[in-house]
Amino acid sequence: MRQLAQLLKAGEISSQELVQRCLEQISKTDGEINAFITVDEQGALEQAAQSDERRAKGQTLSPWDGIPVAIKDNISTLGLRTTCGSRFLRNYRPVYDATVVERLQGAGLPILGKTNLDEFAMGSSTEYSAFGVTKNPYDTSRVAGGSSGGSAAAVAAGQAPWALGTDTGGSIRQPASFCGVVGLKPTYGRVSRYGVVALAPSLDQVGPMARTVEDAAILFSLIAGADPRDATSTGSPPFALPRWDPEVVRGLRVGVPEEFFSSGLHAEVEGAVRRALRRLEEQGAVLQPISLAGNEYAIDTYLTLVTAEASSCLARFDGVRYGERVPAADSNTMFAKSRGAGFGPEVKRRIMLGTYVLSASHYEAYYEQAQRVRTLIKLEVARAFEQVDVLITPTTPSTAFRIGEKRNPLEMYLSDLYTATANLSGVCALSLPCGWDSQGLPIGLQIMGNHFQEELVFQVARVVEASVERGAKGAV
């Protein structure tokens, strides 16, 4: 991205050319990949033209002015349809911009379009989108991961230099891992959620996805910091791009939670992660085995809370003011019919589960119990960060699976096995490629940092990145 910024500054390339190249790549590859739900060709070119004008007048908004970006389609964009991957919202055009979109536009980034996702971000493969599955650019018979599969694939396929995703239980990191890109789930509250269509407000975060650690850090610096319109972001500091320092790993205490290397983890994934750990050790890091026993309960806890919150957040999709309305004789039937027709099967499943766990007779056994376990997980993670500076784990138990391979929802839920703990405890976590399996598929490594420790996580990630050999086989 520094190179692109240099080229733009030197006048060797214009923002319009840059956008044009992305659009060409999209038109060449997206018929196959299906990373985008909406490509805003005209809008992106107009914004690029404005950027070029600003540059000509020496009035650029940031060093990154003119570098286009893709936005996950559950983030509101004024006038540009925001479907959330749902039939229900296939014609929904927001009347306002999300704070993160405002901030990116404030930095001069043209918006290429809106990327595919599992319906309302519920899923780990983008197979649950009403707009078709997103395919993995490394192997189009495989999934790109999810729910931010569109953003991950767009970056991996060179359709967009970088993109925004959202992460509730692993929805940035798992597709980043599957598509060989870098993705950060920021500390809860560090990035405004205003304008991001909620899946589970107590867990959702917006984060950057990019090809390199530095690019992800740059994009993060453009969106981070408190927003008066999001009460859960109060007090969050902004983020400035750090001076990169490879020495940061000298003496760094790296926690290696044994529960994340247990059965179910593919040998090749484990091998790549352990190799990366060894290289860190060689550079002076102190590896420290640690136990996060609570992780065993992370998925159950996560699902209980996500379904509960989602059942409430999605209740507003009733066909009254927007969304697809199915007419009926009375309002309750109209709600029911509209929702029946608008939502896909995974969304319905989670709404039913969530309604169940919140119902008066089951609240204590499920929702309240899950909140208690969440508190224990938070405490355990907090204790871990008293002993170590970062935690390093695999991002996912396996590399990208085949489209249609996981038919059982429970199996799909296990994709978040290593990622949900960061959301439950609110800490930040980043995934970056740390190697390739024998089939040439990227393997992801996760670095977790304490609350607001994004800078340290990026620093460590940058060292890991430098020590990993590039893949034998590139993306399409």
List the catalytic residue out of 14, 76, 171, 236. 171
Residue 230 in contact with another protein, rule: CB under 8 A? yes
Does position 373 interact with another protein (CB under 8 A)? The reply is: no
422 binds another protein (CB under 8 A): no
CB of 383 to another protein, least distance (A): 23
Instruction: State which of residues 22, 107, 358, 422 lies at the interface with another protein (CB under 8 A).
Output: 358
Taken in order 195, 197, 203, 206, the sign of the CA dihedral is negative
Q: How many CB atoms lie within 10 A of CB 400?
A: 29
Q: Which of 128, 178, 220, 367 binds another protein (CB under 8 A)?
A: 367
Select 299 or 308, whichever has its Cβ closest to another protein. 308
Please give the DSSP secondary-structure letter assigned to residue 80.
Answer: B
Residue where the block lists tokens 């840059």: 18
Among 14, 15, 51, 72, the active-site one is 72
Strand boundaries in 161-274, DSSP class E: 162-167, 182-185, 205-210, 253-257
Find the shortest distance in angstroms from Cβ 72 to another protein: 12
The string over 173-189, giving b where at least 16 C-beta atoms fall within 10 Å of a residue's C-beta and e elsewhere, is: bbbbbbbbbbbbbbbbb
Does the protein bind another protein through residue 322 (CB under 8 A)? yes
**Nearer Cβ to another protein (98/269):** 98
Which of 46, 201, 348, 397 touches another protein by CB under 8 A? Answer: 201
CB nearer to another protein: give 370 or 381: 370
Exactly one of 147, 151, 221, 236 is catalytic; which is it?
147
Give which of 447, 444, 441, 445 is closest to 471, Cα–Cα: 441
Per the annotation, the verdict on 114 as an active-site residue is no
Which 68-87 positions form the footprint of another protein (CB under 8 A)?
A: 74-76, 82, 84
Q: β-strands 139-143, 253-257: how paired? A: unpaired
Which stretch, 55-63, 133-141, 187-195, 433-441, contacts another protein (CB under 8 A)? 187-195
The secondary structure of 293-329 as a DSSP string is: GGGGGHHHHHHHHHHHHHHHHGGG-SSSSSS-----S
Instruction: Compute how many other C-beta atoms are within 10 angstroms of the C-beta atom of residue 85.
Output: 34
Task: Look up 361 and say whether it is catalytic.
Answer: no
9 is catalytic: no
C-alpha to C-alpha distance for 106 and 111, rounded to whole angstroms: 12
Q: In the range 7-46, which residues lie near another protein by CB under 8 A?
A: none
Task: Give the integer Cα–Cα distance in Å for 392 and 290.
Answer: 10
Query: Strands 36-39 and 111-115: what pairing?
Result: antiparallel
Residues that bind another protein (CB under 8 A): 74-76, 82, 84, 89, 92, 94-96, 98, 193-198, 200-202, 228-232, 234, 308-309, 311-312, 315-318, 320-322, 331-332, 335, 355, 358-360, 363, 367
